[in-house]
Amino acid sequence: MEIFDLTIHELHEKLKAKEVSSVEATRAMLDRIEAVDSQVNAYITVTPEQALVQAEDADRRIAAGEIAPLTGIPVGLKDIFVTKGIRTTCGSRILENFVPPYDGTAVARLKEQGAVIVGKLNQDEFAMGSSNESSYFGPCKNPWDLSCTPGGSSGGSAAAIAARTATATLGTDTGGSIRQPASHCGCVGLKPTYGRVSRYGVIAYASSLDQVGPLTRDVTDSALLLGAVAGYDPRDSTSVNTPVPDYLASLAKGVKGMKIGLPKQYFIEGLDPDVKRAMDEAIALYQSLGADIREVSLPNTEYAVATYYIIATAEASANLARYDGVRFGHRAEDARGLAQMYSKSRAEGFGPEVKRRIMLGTYALSSGYYDAYYVKAQKVRTLIQQDFLNAFKEVDVLLTPIAPTPAFKIAEKLEDPLQMYLSDIFTIPVNLAGTCGISVPAGFSAAGLPIGLQLVGKPFGEQEILTAAYSFERETKWHLKKAPL
Amino acid sequence: MKYQVVIGLEVHTQLTTNTKIFCGCSTRFGAEPNSQTCPVCLGLPGALPVLNRQVVEYAIRAGLATNCSITKRNVFARKNYFYPDLPKGYQISQFDLPICQHGHLDIEVEGEKKRIGITRIHMEEDAGKLVHADIPGVDDSCVDLNRACTPLLEIVSEPDMRSPDEAIAYLKKLHQIVMYLGICDGNLEEGSFRCDANVSLMPVGSTVFGTRAELKNINSFKFIKQAIEYEIERQAEILDDGGKVVQETRLFDPNTGTTRSMRGKEEAHDYRYFPDPDLVPVIISDDWIEKVRGGLPELPETKRARFMSELGLSEYDAEVLVASRELAQYFEDTVALFPQAKTVSNWVMGEVTRALNDDNNRSIAQCPVTPALLADLLKLMEKGTISGKIAKTVFDEMYKTGKTPEKIVEEKGLVQVSDTGAIEAMVDEVLEKNAGQVAEYRGGKETLFGFFVGQVMRASKGKANPAVVNELLLKKLQG
Amino acid sequence: MKITREQVEHVARLARLELSEAELDTFTGQMDSILSYVEKLNALDTEGIVPTSHAVPMENAFRADEATGSIGVEAALANAPLRAESFFRVPKVIE
Ligand SMILES: [Zn+2]
């Protein structure tokens, strides 16, 4: 077992026992990045100097007996997290040289605990995508099969876990951007309830849907990292002021008597047979563990993708208006006059997927179409949310696939945006409903690609899904399999 | 004139909060460009707005003082447009649910009272400033974001005004109210109170409004009048020639007193308003409204009525004294210590105002003669220690030195002489020196009495008690 | 057709995106197919349904009117593509 293979809690024990120092662990991780990242392209920016300074500082804290669960642990951040003094690109040319003057709240909380930030991770440009192919810094590859995408948008965050180039990472999830790449890369990815983790210092894609969450090697790490970043933040008006429970404490409670719902709309014809088999095995396992499995209905599921692509793009069209070449970011060199400076800078700075979504969102909000598209979508959102609340009157958690298929090939879906959008059908409703979901490794396809299982909880029901996920992981050990890299 | 002008006004008042509406940066005017900025007001990626509670409080104050109903559930919306002084590419404002609605103000023009409707008041953030900086070699525009994200209330009137004078009366009234409420410093030059005017013409007797022009960039009451008058003339000319007024935004140019079209610069706007997902609804409870109502200061209208009914002031005096909250406060503080309202009113409107005007229009709040000192002075006068005339001299000295009236009177030996013996000697001397006039007086020319009083006062260097002088003169001249 | 090429051009102007002829063609086709897909929402009767802005109910998030400090002129301008003294500099705006 190499240092870079360890989970947070395993490395923590070694740091605590002084079997290894944070500087050693960080060096090991940086060496590993050096060795394999050229194949994976999980990192946009690696920060060895800062990381080693932070590691030395962590070692001093450990020596002084002030070790917290994340002290000295090498973590990576999706490049959507604003980091003071460290270039933050959001996967876009428009921010190619942007060095923020501040840290976001989640980053600040990691730093307070003494975590070591080894670098900034690849992602779809502005988190818009399901394959990491829209990144200006080149596609990230799936460590299980380098010809496949790792999923997206937090592709780098998931690939770094699978490639063992970070002990844990943070990603963001707007329509599945943590859970789907976690599923495709065989790691654990959790999207918390909207409002659970501060969005301050997270570059906005769709503000009413974006949420920060952990990508980790196992469920214990997920609980641990979520606990470290969750909680009220006065700088985010949408952060919720309810106490953060001890997610670790309830992990081993077991699923005996837990009511698990299978939404019938999620077990459809087009489901990949390998995915179908993995789901069937998971259901059987939960049954054997004493869970009470029953079918539920989320009748408005088929409207989720359409709803999402109106709401998310409308919000994005405004969120991305600040990239105008005035205060920061790319400015076209040969523009004549202000109007051209705007339209050229933005045309050069944004890639096609971002432009497409800005266009779609601008159209949905424009005069004459606002009610037909935006207001309509917000109303359907209400129905979708009610579906979940109704289901949760009957069950404690929902069990669903994460994606209809395992990871797809690079460039396979690039030409048809709508097909790409439809691959998020199982994750998008959770964001629209504002509730929480986790992806846990649930087996492999015949081709050897990981398959994830989604557990969806009630609003602020992170404890239940973590408990259910932990029970599954303890029985299956899928998470222990390593990508061939 | 065969046209009737129709005017509606939109006023932007900058609120006097310590910090901006959505971040903790200072709102102080005149700092180094871009020194009062942070990730939020610079619109940096990842930054999020959090609403300053005081802005809501101030908006409720404004709504209550203008007879509006307060909206219980408030939502902020994004107004999308690109401009270099607008950091986020959208302005956070309110759209379909403004915080205050359906209010009114009563104005008076040449004795005619009129009610002007207030359509809405909403909260929003200001933009930064786009300037053409005086920097050698730079012909570009320059952006200063210190003002970006400063809280504004936009107060929109109904198109109820029918003359430039009514527009001015409405604006002055509104200006007075926001100053009374302490929510705006009212400084027109610094842009704390900005006005846009919607002006249209219709044939006299018609009820259908004509096409309006929106006049922008008007930063004094004088210019408002000029701009509207120019616009009336311009539109009348078009209509006379059988033309059509175009709906457009026009910029007022204070140098020429004219307005010019801003068309071309503005392509058809489509602001694409939608609820800002970064902010949450503001729910205003009845309790909150009542608490704000309880803390409202007495407003000028009520104050003026009270000054007339309780203190017996004339309508004119009352009007002058309530012009500003500080002046009214000064007056009332003085009356509290020297309860002769008429005398105090005369002094405040006379000596005090004159001295302040002469002193570079110093504000009443900074008057060196405090209400307590003024009251002391008036008491000395009332007791007969000094005459009214001397009192004015003493006041000037108090204003200059800040000393108490007692001290000045003592130092300068200004105590009024009431000693009958001393005054009698002066009277005798005056009468003796002016034997001719005495004879004329006794011959029936009684108007000379004032002359004798004047002579005696001069002899006493103004210190003789005028009542005693009168009494003695009368006795001697008759005797 | 859900959207015409002219509409796409208009939207691009609103969004301040300079698009090539080829991009306009591609986007027209793609937006048309996405908007046609979105049509399915009209199958749902949403009469009387309250629109959802945030899935988690929230209200009244305030800050006190207290200064928390600014980041300073240099930090504010550090990422500026072009500056002049303490200002951000942009092509001349004609009013
Ligand atoms: Zn600020």
Domain residue ranges of chain B, discontinuous segments joined by +: 3-290, 298-412, 420-478
Which of A99, A195, A352 has its CB closest to that of C56? A195
Of 3.40.190.10, 3.40.50.10800, 3.30.70.20, 1.10.20.60, which CATH number belongs to C5-41?
1.10.20.60
For chain C, which residues make up each domain, given as ranges?
5-41
Token pair of B237 as six digits: 């000319």
Q: Which residues contact A305 (CB under 8 A, 6 or more apart)?
A: A421, A422, A424, A425, A428, C37
Q: Is C1 on the interface with A (CB under 8 A)?
A: no
Higher pLDDT, B436 or A426: A426
- Kindly report the pTM of this predicted structure: 0.92
Mean pLDDT, chain B, rounded, equals: 92
Domain shared by A223 and A325, yes or no = no
- Residue B97 contacts residue B274 (beta carbons within 8 Å): no
> For residue A75, which of A137, A160, A190, A2 has the smallest C-alpha distance?
A160
**Whether the predicted pLDDT of A94 surpasses 60:** yes
ω before B345 within 30° of 0 (cis)? no
Token pair of B99 as six digits: 């915080």
Tell me which of A95, A363, A419 to substitute to probe the interface with C (most C C-beta atoms closer than 10 Å).
A363
pLDDT of residue B397: 92
> What is the C-alpha to C-alpha distance for residues A160 and A100, in angstroms, rounded to an integer?
23
> What is the C-alpha to C-alpha distance for residues A374 and B80, in angstroms, rounded to an integer?
15
**Whether the predicted pLDDT of B217 surpasses 80:** no
Q: Is C48 on the interface with A (CB under 8 A)?
A: no
Residue B264: which pLDDT band, with cuts at 50, 70 and 90? low
pLDDT of residue B295: 96
pLDDT of residue B265: 47
Query: B18 vs C66: CB contact, 8 Å cut-off?
Result: yes
Query: B45 vs A82: CB contact, 8 Å cut-off?
Result: yes
Q: Is C71 on the interface with B (CB under 8 A)?
A: yes
Q: Is C18 on the interface with B (CB under 8 A)?
A: no
pLDDT of residue B267: 57
Chain A residues touching B278 at Cβ < 8 A: 204, 207, 237-238
Chain C residues touching A309 at Cβ < 8 A: 34, 38
Chain C residues touching A378 at Cβ < 8 A: 51-53
HEC letters along B27-94: CCCCCCCCCCCCCCCCCCCCCCCCEEHHHHHHHHHHHHHCCCEECCEECCEEEECCCCCCCCCEEEEC
Residue A1: which pLDDT band, with cuts at 50, 70 and 90? confident
Say how many Å lie between the CA of residue A329 and the centre of ligand 1. Answer: 19
Q: Is A330 on the interface with C (CB under 8 A)?
A: yes
Kindly calculate the radius of gyration of chain A based on its CA atoms and give it in whole angstroms.
21
pLDDT of residue A134: 97
- Residue B42 contacts residue A327 (beta carbons within 8 Å): yes
- Residue B213, classed as helix, strand or coil, is strand
Which of C27, C40, C52 has its CB closest to that of A359? C27
Provide the number of structural domains found in chain A. Answer: 2
Query: Domain containing A36 — which CATH number?
Result: 3.90.1300.10
- Residue B153 contacts residue B123 (beta carbons within 8 Å): yes
Say how many Å lie between the CA of residue C84 and the centre of ligand 1. Answer: 21
Query: C58 vs A237: CB contact, 8 Å cut-off?
Result: yes
Amino acid at B292: V
DSSP C40: G
The residue among A379, A400, A423 that closes a domain is: A379
**Whether the predicted pLDDT of B411 surpasses 90:** no
Domain shared by A50 and A157, yes or no = yes
Q: Is B182 on the interface with C (CB under 8 A)?
A: no
Asked whether residue A193 is domain-assigned, the answer is yes
pLDDT of residue B134: 76
Taking the CA atoms of A473, A477, A480 and A484 in sequence, report the sign of the dihedral they define: negative
pLDDT tens digit sequence for B51-61: 999 999 999 99
Query: C84 vs B17: CB contact, 8 Å cut-off?
Result: no
pLDDT tens digit sequence for A257-275: 999 999 999 998 889 999 9
Interface of B with A (CB under 8 A): 39, 42-51, 78, 80, 82, 84, 87-90, 141, 143, 145, 270, 272-274, 277-280
Residue B1: which pLDDT band, with cuts at 50, 70 and 90? low
Most confidently modeled of A94-108, B132-146, B260-274?
A94-108
List the single residue in B with minimal CA-CA distance to C13.
Answer: B267
Domain shared by A347 and A229, yes or no = no
Domain shared by A62 and A156, yes or no = yes
pLDDT tens digit sequence for A283-310: 999 999 999 999 999 999 999 999 999 9
Domain shared by A244 and A309, yes or no = no
Chain A residues touching B280 at Cβ < 8 A: 237-238
List the single residue in C with minimal CA-CA distance to B138.
Answer: C84
Task: Tell me the residue range of the domain where A359 lies.
Answer: 303-379
* H helix runs in chain C, sequence order: 5-14, 21-38, 73-77
Kindly report the nearest CA distance between residue C29 and chain A, in angstroms.
Answer: 11
Residue A476: which pLDDT band, with cuts at 50, 70 and 90? very high
* HSE-up (13 A, CA, CB side) for residue B231: 37
Kindly report the nearest CA distance between residue A52 and chain C, in angstroms.
Answer: 25
- Residue C18, classed as helix, strand or coil, is coil
Q: Is B82 on the interface with C (CB under 8 A)?
A: yes
Q: Give the C-alpha distances (Å, rounded to integers) separating C1 from A65, B204, B406, C4, C31.
A: 68, 50, 92, 7, 10
Say how many Å lie between the CA of residue B88 and the centre of ligand 1. Answer: 12
**Whether the predicted pLDDT of B290 surpasses 80:** yes
Asked whether residue A403 is domain-assigned, the answer is no
Query: C66 vs B82: CB contact, 8 Å cut-off?
Result: no
List the single residue in A with minimal CA-CA distance to B78.
Answer: A318
pLDDT of residue B263: 65
Q: What is the ipTM of this complex?
A: 0.97
Q: Is C48 on the interface with B (CB under 8 A)?
A: no
Residue positions of A annotated with a catalytic role:
78, 153, 177
B 372-411 residues with CB < 8 A to C? none
Amino acid at A195: G
**Mean pLDDT to the nearest integer, A210-238:** 98
Query: Which helix (H) or strand (E) element contains residue B455?
Result: helix B449-459
**Whether the predicted pLDDT of A176 surpasses 60:** yes
Token pair of A446 as six digits: 């015949």
Q: Which CATH class is domain B420-478?
A: mainly alpha
Kindly report the nearest CA distance between residue B38 and chain A, in angstroms.
Answer: 9
pLDDT tens digit sequence for A3-40: 999 999 999 999 999 999 999 999 999 999 999 999 99
List the single residue in C with minimal CA-CA distance to A306.
Answer: C38
pLDDT tens digit sequence for A56-82: 999 999 999 999 999 999 999 999 999
Say how many Å lie between the CA of residue B47 and the centre of ligand 1. Answer: 10
Q: Give the C-alpha distances (Å, rounded to integers) separating B394 from B249, B391, B405, B415.
A: 56, 5, 6, 11
**Mean pLDDT to the nearest integer, A274-279:** 97
pLDDT of residue B457: 86
How crowded is residue B270: how many other Cβ atoms within 10 Å of its Cβ?
A: 18
Say how many Å lie between the CA of residue B79 and the centre of ligand 1. Answer: 19
The residue among A311, A345, A379 that closes a domain is: A379
How crowded is residue A66: how many other Cβ atoms within 10 Å of its Cβ?
A: 11
Q: Give the C-alpha distances (Å, rounded to integers) separating A435 from A172, A198, B56, B247, C53.
A: 14, 15, 31, 48, 14
Q: Give the C-alpha distances (Å, rounded to integers) separating A321 from A308, A359, B99, B431, C14.
A: 20, 12, 27, 92, 11
Q: Is C87 on the interface with B (CB under 8 A)?
A: yes
**Whether the predicted pLDDT of C87 surpasses 70:** yes
* HSE-up (13 A, CA, CB side) for residue A136: 19
- Residue A285 contacts residue A476 (beta carbons within 8 Å): yes
**Mean pLDDT to the nearest integer, C19-37:** 96
Q: Please name the residue that has the structure tokens 């001299």.
A: B393
Task: Give the distance, in angstroms, between the CA of residue B372 and the centroid of all CA atoms in the same chain.
Answer: 24
> Strands C83-84, C87-90: parallel, antiparallel or unpaired by DSSP?
antiparallel
Kindly report the nearest CA distance between residue B264 and chain C, in angstroms.
Answer: 9
Those chains having 3 or more beta-carbon pairs within 8 angstroms of chain B are: A, C
The residue among A330, A363, A379 that closes a domain is: A379
Q: Is A389 on the interface with C (CB under 8 A)?
A: no
Say how many Å lie between the CA of residue A317 and the centre of ligand 1. Answer: 23
* H helix runs in A251-375, sequence order: 273-288, 304-319, 337-349, 352-365, 370
- Residue B329 contacts residue B363 (beta carbons within 8 Å): no
List the single residue in C with minimal CA-CA distance to B262.
Answer: C95
- Residue B121 contacts residue B98 (beta carbons within 8 Å): yes
Q: What is the DSSP string of A405-456?
A: SSPPBTTSSTT-HHHHHHTTTTTHHHHHHT-EEEEEEEEE-TTS-EEEEEEE
pLDDT of residue B254: 87
Which of C66, C68, C90 has its CB closest to that of B84? C90
Token pair of B275 as six digits: 């609820």
